[in-house]
């Protein structure tokens, strides 16, 4: 079968032919309908050899959806032909965090060398993929796999970040969303669907700011050093109750900190190497800074339910599997609006 692989450190992703996978005991084989292209892959492909925790080649794709094509021995609860979304942050299934459904925070994944598909285990950017356990599948039902596959990460990650801040997002509150890309444009819609907050979106691209307005941002600002003063002006000098940084680079972390108000939540989701100093006087009183990772399986079910209600619509641009390297180039260049989705079987 064809697969999109990251094969050599520093190289570009390549479309190659690999053996068809067969499900072992407890595993599920999916015929992949759609695989999302995430900026985290670009980050992984920029790491030096010593920072890569898994062997290459790696089949990319940590957002996956497809139909159940075959079952390994002992698998129960899914049927051949069911359309499923893959819950990506695989854990051990047995530790305290996994018992709470928080496999994204599995306490033993590192020790047991359990990796998410596309981030260590073979991923969804192939005609078929192996899912290690049926519990990592969530039925899509009547949702379109192409338009909903980004919800498994570009939806789930912002949902998890927003959910913990919902009590602060009362009418009259303000949320600043930095980076209106794959995650950010879904975050804006989730904020509108889940809360009464006013959304101010920041980006460096006018096209992305246009998308931000179309998906529900009340205000948009270019992301530069003047943005915090503009946010302060828009909030009567208070600053934002919640700041979500979907870039997480040094300049955006500084902007995020300067937009935060007293008792705000400052959540750094992007993995661009930025950080925020915390200590008395460095931030407004009781600003809580956090850097979450992905979300829980229950939260994926919740995100898919929101999408079923029609309140979140991912903007997707589709590519055939042979065009996947181009999709990565376009993502790197910042010219994908919304999410790029690879269709390995069409
Ligand atoms: P993306 O490329 O689709 O979107 C990034 C957006 O940020 C683009 O619209 C870009 O124009 C904008 N941007 C770039 N520089 C900016 C700046 N200085 N100020 C404001 N906006 C700027 O990327 P994505 O797939 O949405 O991923 C976003 C980030 O989140 C990446 O760092 C990714 O690795 C990370 N991520 C983290 C998690 C997690 O669990 N913490 C999960 C998924 C993705
Ligand atoms: Zn991702
Ligand atoms: Zn675990």
Candidate from 153, 270, 272, 275 with most ligand 1 atoms within 8 A of CB, to mutate: 270
Expressed as residue numbers, the domain containing 181 is 156-290
Distances (CA, A) of 309 to 150, 184, 312: 17, 20, 8
Give residues (CB < 6 A) around ligand 1: 38-40, 43, 153-154, 157, 178-184, 202-205, 208, 223, 246-249, 251-252, 269-272, 293-294, 331, 334
* Mean pLDDT, residues 101-129 taken together: 98
Q: What is the pTM of this model?
A: 0.98
Number of domains in the chain: 2
Q: Are residues 132 and 14 in the same domain?
A: yes
Could you give the maximum distance between any two Cα atoms of the chain, in Å?
A: 62
pLDDT of residue 313: 97
Say how many Å lie between the CA of residue 177 and the centre of ligand 1: 11
| Calpha distance 340→319 (Å, rounded) | 7
Boundary of a domain, candidates 290, 307, 328? 290
302 and 206 co-located in one domain: no
The sign of the dihedral angle between the CA atoms of 148, 150, 153, 158 is: negative
DSSP state of 121: B
CA 291–ligand 3 middle distance (angstroms): 20
Distance 320 CA to ligand 2 centre (A): 20
Q: What is the CATH number of the domain that holds 132?
A: 3.90.180.10
| Cα separation values, 196 from 168, 170, 173, 245, Å | 10, 6, 8, 19
Nearest CA to ligand 1 atom 32: 270
Same domain, 17 and 123: yes
Residue 279's pLDDT is 96
Of 36, 37, 38, which is best to mutate to test ligand 1, by the most ligand atoms within 8 angstroms of its C-beta? 38
* Residues 194 and 100 both lie in one domain: no
d(CA 153, CA 147): 13
Residues 284 and 266 in one domain: yes
Alpha helices in the chain, H assignment, sequence order: 39-44, 96-99, 109-112, 145-148, 156-163, 182-194, 206-214, 227-234, 250-259, 297-308, 324-333
Say yes or no: 27 and 127 in one domain: yes
- Does residue 16 sit in the same domain as residue 102? yes
- Kindly report, residue by residue over 123-167, the tens digit of the pLDDT: 999 999 999 999 999 999 999 999 999 999 999 999 999 999 999
Give CA 125 to chain center in angstroms: 16
Q: Are residues 226 and 310 in the same domain?
A: no
**Using one digit for the tens of pLDDT, what is the confidence trace for 271-304?**
999 999 999 999 999 999 999 999 999 999 999 9
Q: Tell whether 130 and 187 lie within a shared domain.
A: no
pLDDT of residue 180: 98
26 contacts 76 by C-beta, under 8 angstroms: no
Could you read off the pLDDT of 36-79 as tens digits, one per residue? 999 999 999 999 999 999 999 999 999 999 999 999 999 999 99
Name the DSSP class of 132: S
Q: Are residues 53 and 120 in the same domain?
A: yes
């Amino acid at each position: 079968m064809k697969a999109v692989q990251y094969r050599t450190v520093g190289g570009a992703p390549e479309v190659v032919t690999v053996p068809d996978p067969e499900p072992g005991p407890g595993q599920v084989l999916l015929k992949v309908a759609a695989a999302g292209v995430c900026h985290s892959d670009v980050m992984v492909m920029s790491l030096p050899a010593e920072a890569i925790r898994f062997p290459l080649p790696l089949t990319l794709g940590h957002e996956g959806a497809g139909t159940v094509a075959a079952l390994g021995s002992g698998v129960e609860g899914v049927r051949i032909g069911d359309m499923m979304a893959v819950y990506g942050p695989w854990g051990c299934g047995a530790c305290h965090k996994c018992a709470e459904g928080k496999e994204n925070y599995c306490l033993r994944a590192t020790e047991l060398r359990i990796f998410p598909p596309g981030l260590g285990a073979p991923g969804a950017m192939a005609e078929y993929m192996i899912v290690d356990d049926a519990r990592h599948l969530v039925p899509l039902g009547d949702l379109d796999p192409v338009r909903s596959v980004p919800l498994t990460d570009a939806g789930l990650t912002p949902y998890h970040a927003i959910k913990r801040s919902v009590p602060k997002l009362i009418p009259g509150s303000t949320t600043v969303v930095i980076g209106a890309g794959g995650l950010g444009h879904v975050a804006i819609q989730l904020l509108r669907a889940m809360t009464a907050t006013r959304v101010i979106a920041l980006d460096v691209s006018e096209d992305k700011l246009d998308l931000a307005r179309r998906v529900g941002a009340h205000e948009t600002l270019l992301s530069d050093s003047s943005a915090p003063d503009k946010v302060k002006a828009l909030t009567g000098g208070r600053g934002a109750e919640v700041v979500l940084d979907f870039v997480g680079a040094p300049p955006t972390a500084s902007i995020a900190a300067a937009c935060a108000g007293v008792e705000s939540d400052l959540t750094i989701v992007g993995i661009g190497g930025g950080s925020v100093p915390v200590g008395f006087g460095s931030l407004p009183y009781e600003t809580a800074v956090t850097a979450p990772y992905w979300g829980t399986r229950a939260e994926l079910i919740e995100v898919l339910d929101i999408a079923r209600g029609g309140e979140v619509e991912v903007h997707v641009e589709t590519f055939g599997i042979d065009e996947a390297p181009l999709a990565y180039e376009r993502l790197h260049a910042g010219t994908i609006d919304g999410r790029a989705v690879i269709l390995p079987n069409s």
